[in-house]
Amino acid sequence: MKIAIDVMGGDFAPQNPVGGIKLALAELEQITKLLLVGVPEVIQKELDAQGVSSPKIEMVPAYQVVDMSDSGLDAVRKKKDSSISRSVDLVKSGQADAVVSAGHTGAAVTASLIKLRTLPGVERPAIASVLPSRTKYWTLIDAGANPDSEPHHLVQNAIMGSAYARHVLRTSNPKVGLMSNGTEEEKGNALTKEASKLLRRTPGIQFVGNVEGHDLWETPPDVVVCDGFTGNILLKTSEALAHAIFGMVKEEIVASFRTKIGGLLAKPAFKRVHTKTNADEYGGSPLLGLNGVTIIAHGSASPYAMKNAIRMACETVSHELNPHIEEAVRQYAITHATA
């Protein structure tokens, strides 16, 4: 595996990306090369500070950094020497199998779309994020790539999400639900109502109908489809809520001696739940539908999260997901044309 890392991307760059690289080199044996993209002097200084040295590391110079105030398109067109642009270039040229970035999501999506292009039949890529519930893990798609979507885009999201669940997460016959404000068919806005009609006629996916908020944390389907605007709000809200709840529980535990004792006894259980709900465990989310592999990590991703984002990149490549998505979309196009 040859993975390009946008070392200058993220709220805590280059410290956390380099920390993730250090962990990945120690734990991920499948890596043959890590291409560290960014300002060489800055990266080398951080590598030295953290004691990171490996023949698997190669530096790739990039001297521009994308600011959060930049639009995705401007970041690509006006900052061609940015770390994210150069990272995606490495995938395009075949020098890297995947790119991992915790930087500007819009820039990562735009650079990947413009430089890598979509797979045949795919109109727009979509971010797939794995989330926990009480009963299992499930995939949210789109988690933020396309704020404005058409009904047929949600159908493609369902096809790509099903392929991801089947071939990467190893779910044999993934069930697909459509995010809405009620489970009844008549619920939803114009987008979800039309998407629901299309999904019911889409072969190759097991569509189970609408799902609403409380379904997601109890008994969700394997794949939940929505537009990127809804998905991004849902993703960030759920992660913030999990963090807030653990904060409130911690405050109550230390409020008295008795609760401290109880908290100590329950610590293993709390730790297991925290691990299950911690976004760092998943690291990053693949941008599906591209002629290449892009993994988008959180801007505040910790070194542990960056390591897991690199792991996610390796898994996505090794499972050869893109050919499966391409074939599924092709089969849908054939069936749709003859319907």
Which range is least confidently modeled, 41-50, 123-132, 328-337?
328-337
- 3-class secondary structure, 210: strand
Residues 29 and 169 in one domain: no
Give the confidence band of 337 by pLDDT, cuts at 50, 70, 90: low
Strands 137-141 and 2-6: unpaired
pLDDT at 18 > cutoff 70: yes
Residues 181 and 138 in one domain: yes
Write out pLDDT tens, residues 134-188: 889 999 999 999 889 999 999 999 999 999 999 998 999 999 999 998 888 888 8
Residue 1 lies in a domain: yes
Residues 91 and 132 in one domain: no
Residue 330 lies in a domain: no
Write out pLDDT tens, residues 31-44: 999 999 999 999 99
Residues 221 and 296 in one domain: no
Residue 339 lies in a domain: no
> What CATH number does residue 193 fall under?
3.40.718.10
Residues 233 and 99 in one domain: no
Helix ranges (H only) for 3-134 are 15-27, 40-50, 72-77, 83-92, 105-116
What pLDDT is recorded for position 280? 79
Residue 215 lies in a domain: yes
Distance (Å, whole) CA 85 – CA 91: 10
Residues 106 and 163 in one domain: no
Residues 130 and 217 in one domain: yes
Average pLDDT over residues 238-263: 89
Residues 185 and 100 in one domain: no
Q: Write the CA distances from 268 to 248, 259, 262, integer angstroms.
A: 18, 15, 11
CA-angle at 282, arms to 322 and 21, nearest 5°: 90
Average pLDDT over residues 5-30: 94
- 3-class secondary structure, 51: coil
Residues 76 and 113 in one domain: yes
Residue 329 lies in a domain: no
Residues 141 and 263 in one domain: yes
Residues 192 and 215 in one domain: yes
Write out the residue range of the structural domain in which residue 39 sits: 1-122+289-319
Distance (Å, whole) CA 249 – CA 20: 29
Which helix H or strand E contains 38, and what residues bound it?
Answer: strand 33-38
Q: Residue 308 CB: number of other CB atoms within 10 A? A: 25
Give the count of domains, the chain: 2
